[in-house]
Amino acid sequence: MAAEFEQPTKVESPLPPGHRLLFPGPGFLYGGAFKAGQLVDEDPRGFSSIIPRNVLTEQVKKSLDELGQEYLHLLATLATHVGKENLTIVKNKFTMGKTDPETEQMVLTSIDYPDFEEFDNAHFQAFIDHPTVWTRDGFTTIGPLTLLHPVYFQDIPNYDGTVKSLFAEGGSVLHAKDAILVSEGLWPVRDQDKGFQKLKEFGFKIAPLPLVDPKKQTLEPHHTHIDTHAALIVDKDNNLQLLVAESYSRQGHGTRKRIRFAAETIGAETFEVDDRNLPPFALNFIQFADKSVVVTNSQNSDLILTLQLILGEEKIITPHIPLAKIPTVLGGSIRCMINTIPESVLNGLRS
């Protein structure tokens, strides 16, 4: 399976020195197809060769092709922006269940996927497969410290520069410069969490951000994740800016007041973005060390115009097509899918 890239890939990397960009392998999408309710057999020749157990309807084939197109366009955009040599594909498996008619027991079959030969490929020594599905939620690097999720990496010992911490779940943590915003869902455990204490010792300003109310959203976000509706970035003048979706800020429960208090605590200005006509989870984008952002394309320009105002037009990178199917089916978008990690830590986590 190969992705084609039209532009040169030897670029000056926007990643911090000694870091790599991680991106999930294609099993990510097949898992999404399964989650969407399609019982499938798998043929690794391409995205459109997923074959349902009964009949491959045109509607199902179209849906799966849309997932694959969004995935490949985003991968091509990232590879062009950071350089293929700086990108690692995290290999994953798709586990499919089938009931044995004689025993009525569920039999699980794990399917491996071929490497993307253009890129470095890596397996993780994860206890379960989750970090290879959402690379953002297995670990989080903040300053000199890499937090490892204590569930996913429970059998891997800590070594220099790492600590086991629930705050490794990156969907629940926003970070920029010397500031960190943490989901209120994790806030109660901060006094018992070694990672949180280490970050305080390093001098980071930390504040809680309210949970997103799933009853007020078209798509339900993960329980504690705030990065589906908020983004913390550094502007062209090196100031902190907190972007929040209006549907989140105006959900009630005192959310808007608590968001502004959190922003004031870390020294950030707040922008509310009208997200009524944006692709799902459009604020789930990533900013790199050079302040550039990779953000979903959209016919609605509210988010892009806000980012151009804050960063300058040259810093806005968008895939050729909007991400709409992936967030709808899988419940996450660009930031959820990708992560950055020191190469030394990555090598220690390889299986």
pTM: 0.86
91 close to 25: Cβ distance less than 8 angstroms: yes
Q: What is the distance between the alpha carbons of residues 48 and 58, in angstroms, rounded to a whole number? A: 11
The structure tokens listed for 14 are 């926007």
d(CA 164, CA 203): 19
The whole-number pLDDT of residue 199 equals: 95
* pLDDT profile of the chain (351 residues), mean per 10: 41 85 82 48 43 47 78 94 94 64 68 77 82 85 94 83 94 97 95 95 96 87 90 97 97 96 98 94 96 93 93 95 90 94 91 81
Contact between residue 324 and residue 278 where contact means Cβ atoms under 8 Å apart: no
User: Structural domain boundaries of the chain?
Assistant: 19-349
The number of helix segments (H) and strand segments (E) in the chain equals 10, 20
pLDDT at residue 157, as a whole number: 80
Residue type, 320: H
pLDDT in tens, 284-323: 999 999 999 999 998 888 899 999 999 999 999 999 999 9
Domain 19-349: homologous superfamily in CATH: L-arginine/glycine Amidinotransferase; Chain A (3.75.10.10)
Pairing of β 230-234 and β 240-245: antiparallel
pLDDT value of residue 50: 42
Query: What is the full DSSP assignment across 94-119?
Result: EEEEEE-TTT--EEEEEE-----TTS
> Which residues, 6 or more positions from 35, have their beta carbon under 8 angstroms from its beta carbon?
329, 330
Which amino acid, one-letter code, is at 100?
Answer: D
> Residue 175 in contact with residue 202, Cβ under 8 Å?
no
pLDDT of residue 77: 96
The span from the CA of 257 to the CA of 264, in Å, is 11
